[in-house]
Amino acid sequence: MTDPQNPAATTEGWTEPRATAVLVLADGTVLEGFGLGAVGEATGEVCFNTAMTGYQEILTDPSYARQIITFTFPHIGNVGTNDEDIETVNAAAHVGAIGCIVAAPVTDPSNWRAARRLDAWLKARGVVGLGGVDTRALTALIREKGMPNAVIAHDPKGAFDLDRLKREAAAWPGLVGMDLVPGVTATQRYEWSETDWRWPEGYGQRAAARHHVVAIDYGMKRNILRLFAGRDCQLTVMPATATADEIFALNPDGVFLSNGPGDPAATGEYAAPVIRAILERGIPTFGICLGHQMMALAIGASTHKMHQGHHGANHPVKEHATGKVEIVSMNHGFAVDPKTLPANAKETHVSLFDGSNCGIALTDRPAFSVQHHPEASPGPRDSHYLFDRFVEMMDKAKEKKAA
């Protein structure tokens, strides 16, 4: 069956007589395939994601800014897309991955919630797609050589200036030293009350509020806010450039540091001093992903670029205190160096894949953070307890203040 918005994509397979999309790596390697999604070019870093579900949430995660995602699971697009499974808070803002690489042809969706085919949805969002390549070979290349800089290009006529694309891929500086948060953060303060999705009602609305949480938006995901709202938290979201005084003026019971893209060291130049002031006030603080790295930088630790990063929904993480192993979702290309943590911080979680740091907690302040995504939707829910832990931390802080 032919898609009227992309006649070349059929359920029978890729049918173009010649390559209509290419991935050109910085080392000159060229991978040819068939185009889907938007026509044009995009330059960024190539990573691979091992999740078998949730491709729409993945592609709209602001943490993937300037990244081209290779999906290792072959059947991407088989449940279509809808208007609800978007992680970008502003659904109209096309924030997230800039490129998408798949192995098998995008089929007609088979899901009662589907509203549009994946390829048409990618086109509407301006995401360049490449299909029909050996994603296993590309994944092996990334594991061996690291995440490469590249240009992904789609031209229905198959007319590519490969020499120019090679020069552009080689000239792109990469994510190290790049602050991408200004392109994904909120432009102004706003409130949030939507709760998490439940069958058969769908998304709900918070009724009462026990705590007021100020969330600093470095590239916020919707489901993080939903899980807070579902725990009776009033949420005020602030731009990444919010000052400590602006946050203190709201008199929050707790502060949340969100996920986000880019090099944490670059964002930390303006974010770390604000977080340091929050911690010095003793306000309960919780960070996820980039927010975890921001907290580490605020207390004097450092971060480093990873070889291949962690991107997927099947990562085993061990909590030191309990010995429990959680299966979690991850999306990060930088990590906190646990050797640089100060004396008042302890490592709480560690990746069982490579031993990298996945969590810290302060011993003299009510503050903790994790590298993984406990809010993952869809995905494992092993780490939802971290939201309860933060609520309990705010409860204790209020009790202490009232005593």
Q: What residues act catalytically? A: 289, 373, 375
Give the residue from 54, 59, 331, 89 showing the smallest Cα distance to 225: 89
Q: For 68-79, what is the HEC assignment?
A: EEEECCCCCCCC
Alpha-carbon distance 345 to 348, whole Å?
9
φ and ψ at 244, to 5 degrees? -60, -40
Contact call for residues 251 and 290 (beta carbons, < 8 A): no
Contact call for residues 27 and 172 (beta carbons, < 8 A): no
Alpha-carbon distance 120 to 132, whole Å?
17
Contact call for residues 383 and 328 (beta carbons, < 8 A): yes
**Look-up: residue for tokens 């490592």?**
347
**Look-up: residue for tokens 């991978």?**
31
Alpha-carbon distance 286 to 90, whole Å?
23
